[in-house]
Amino acid sequence: MDKLTPIFELRDMLRQLERDVGLDDLSRTERDVLLAAHSLTARVGDAISTEQMRNHALLEPVAQATLYRAIRTLLGHGLLERAGQSKARNYVVRSDLVGKDLQQS
């Protein structure tokens, strides 16, 4: 077996999983931001900061403006929400909404 076949098979499997849970409507960056944010939380409802997301290995190649644009899109879809009433950029991942119809901002 050549070296590319297993990589292709994994990517194809991942695409299918993303489609199955309704993440295929998001851009690659939006999916990466959502997954990075989720991985930074220990429990459902934990707040994470933009800075924590920016420092995540999955988001290293993402430009700051692109990160903020993806966060705005995820907020519009309801997959992220602002944490509390503070003006600080802290967010809660709404993983309970993954797989449901995305809200339109």
**Cα 98 from Cα 78, distance rounded (Å):** 9
- pLDDT at residue 16, as a whole number: 93
Q: Rounded to whole angstroms, what are the CA distances from 1 to 5, 6, 7, 75?
A: 7, 8, 11, 43
The pLDDT mean for the chain works out to 88
Whether 104 maps to a domain, the answer reads no
For residue 87, what is the domain's CATH number? Answer: 1.10.10.10
Whether 103 maps to a domain, the answer reads no
Contact 70, 29 (CB under 8 A): yes
Which tens digits make up the pLDDT trace of 32-52?
999 999 999 988 888 999 999
Q: What is the number of domains present in the chain?
A: 1
**Boundaries of domain holding 80:** 4-97
Mean pLDDT by 10 residues, the chain (105 residues): 91 92 90 94 89 95 96 93 80 78 58
What's the predicted TM-score (pTM) here?
A: 0.84
Question: How big is the CA angle at 99 (ends 81 and 24), to the nearest 5 degrees?
Answer: 95
